[in-house]
A and B are shown apart, each in its own frame.
Chain A
């Protein structure tokens, strides 16, 4: 009997020209494989938008990639791989394995109709894998993240206190549907994906730019999309283990939201008082800390709630008048607790995560981490890379920094996370 052959390879490019970078990221991955890849995951930072554009970037990839290779991906804030740690460039993971059936899916208008988009995507996945006999089912989902609205005269502000604030808040629900600006509604997408693909383990993340929350793109086959969910599903005899850590510490300070809005992504009232004022009172912060650095400041003080075994952190994205807006859903039924993040805690959580894994028969690692961790750690992200490098050695791995992470383990509830580090190690 012929032993099934497994091969994994990581590609990388730091070139500036979109087409050249596309070619290089594909070439560097494929040259390490002895047969064509069975799928190709592609991640890039936003920079190619101004250096030829993402269609040219994809054209470059397809100059090299064998026709018909299932490909998904998108723009990310940064990535780590066997080569290093980067916030500019492109990276890819190419997998070649005979005992695996692969299918890709896409759904559009995620901010307008998240459920419909997710259902269309899962239908394509199911149809593509209908004849597969392999027992283990995995799905990687990549979803378009939220977009911070740009208001005439005011521009893109993190804190809006002017009279336009009220108008903006009232119209944000509508603009999310009509213009697809506002929350990414990824919570609703992951819930539908999990509901439609109950037997799958699902891990995913959201596409973003360079943390400005102005634009993001998804890659599917040979085309570039916006406001879409793309997914890659496979059935295989490989096994895997998913582990999520965050390194946050509870502070004991509780926030009780009593009125929410904007698809439950915004708190209007805390303990029946105007949310922003009451938040400042509870955390004992002076009012002037609500400035344009609010998002970066609250990376270190996320508001968290518990869902089954998971801690779901939420970072403040915007303050409009007295309303606090988060990048993802919170629930008025769940009390929130402020947690604190430290550089040491975040870095230790990587080691703590990897300590749960064996290296025997490990084939490759895929990690979805949060852009908030990258922004909070900055140069110290290289310390995370040292830990990864020590663990994986020559084994291919790819970490992509998304704007929110999704995890669904078959049989449990799906969760939308922020500030988390999610490792999926694949074995045979």
Chain B
């Protein structure tokens, strides 16, 4: 199976202590997950409610992504969920972090990850186009 560059980006994020889970997702669908051991265990206990809240946020993302919505976040119990939206799409890079994490530092690496993923997406779009020519 071909290595997925987006998986690699997510694997890199998961190696940061305060990233408890990350994924590329849209409403009702996780498109890419990290390839390793998956999410960190503390997320499991709250995953169902976070997932439901995430789907509601994706409704907003679908509505306003075209208008330039860039990021969203919400805090649920002791966790924060960050959405870094891919411009003009319904997709976002999502990360779950502890509410007391140094979010500023994580934001920098989230943005680097979003840029890397966008680059990969653009490359695969170009490859698709070339294949159809």
Contact with B along A337-380 (1 / 0, CB 8 A): 00000000000000000000000000000000000001111110
CB–CB A88/B109 < 8 A:
yes
CB–CB B100/A378 < 8 A:
no
How long is the Cα–Cα vector from A374 to B107 in the complex, in angstroms? 10
A310 at interface, CB cutoff 8 A: no
| From B15, B105, B107, B110, contact of A211 by CB (8 A) | B105
CB–CB B102/A212 < 8 A:
yes
CB–CB A375/B104 < 8 A:
yes
Which residues of A are found within 8 Å of B109, using beta-carbon distances? 86-88
Which residues of B are found within 8 Å of A293, using beta-carbon distances? 100
| From A47, A88, A378, contact of B103 by CB (8 A) | A378
A225 at interface, CB cutoff 8 A: no
Which residues of B are found within 8 Å of A375, using beta-carbon distances? 102-105
A16 at interface, CB cutoff 8 A: yes
Q: Tell me the dominant secondary structure on chain A's binding face.
A: mixed
Which residues of A are found within 8 Å of B106, using beta-carbon distances? 87, 378
B80 to chain A, nearest CB (A): 12
B111 at interface, CB cutoff 8 A: yes
How long is the Cα–Cα vector from A166 to B100 in the complex, in angstroms? 25
How many interface residues does A have (CB within 8 Å)? Answer: 23
How many interface residues does B have (CB within 8 Å)? Answer: 17
How long is the Cα–Cα vector from A376 to B100 in the complex, in angstroms? 14
| From A16, A84, A87, A292, contact of B105 by CB (8 A) | A87
B98 to chain A, nearest CB (A): 11
Q: Which residue of B lies closest to A212 (CB)?
A: B102
Assuming the contacts A16-B15, A379-B71, asked whether A78 and B102 have C-beta atoms less than 8 A apart, the reply is no
Which residues of B are found within 8 Å of A78, using beta-carbon distances? 105, 108
CB–CB B105/A210 < 8 A:
yes
- Nearest 9 pairs of A and B residues by beta carbon: A378-B107, A375-B104, A378-B104, A379-B107, A87-B105, A211-B102, A87-B108, A379-B111, A87-B109
Name 28 interchain pairs, CB-CB below 8 A, sorted by A: A16-B15, A47-B16, A77-B105, A78-B108, A84-B112, A85-B108, A85-B111, A85-B112, A86-B108, A87-B105, A87-B108, A210-B102, A210-B105, A212-B102, A292-B100, A293-B100, A374-B104, A375-B102, A375-B103, A376-B104, A378-B106, A378-B107, A378-B108, A379-B108, A379-B111, A381-B104, A382-B108, A382-B111
Chain B interface (Cβ < 8 Å from any Cβ of A): 12, 15-17, 71, 100, 102-112
Give 19 A-B pairs besides A78-B108, A375-B102 with Cβ atoms closer than 8 angstroms: A47-B15, A47-B16, A78-B105, A85-B112, A87-B105, A87-B109, A292-B100, A374-B108, A375-B103, A375-B104, A377-B104, A378-B103, A379-B71, A379-B107, A379-B108, A379-B110, A379-B111, A381-B104, A381-B108
Chain A interface (Cβ < 8 Å from any Cβ of B): 16, 47, 77-78, 84-88, 210-212, 292-293, 296, 374-379, 381-382
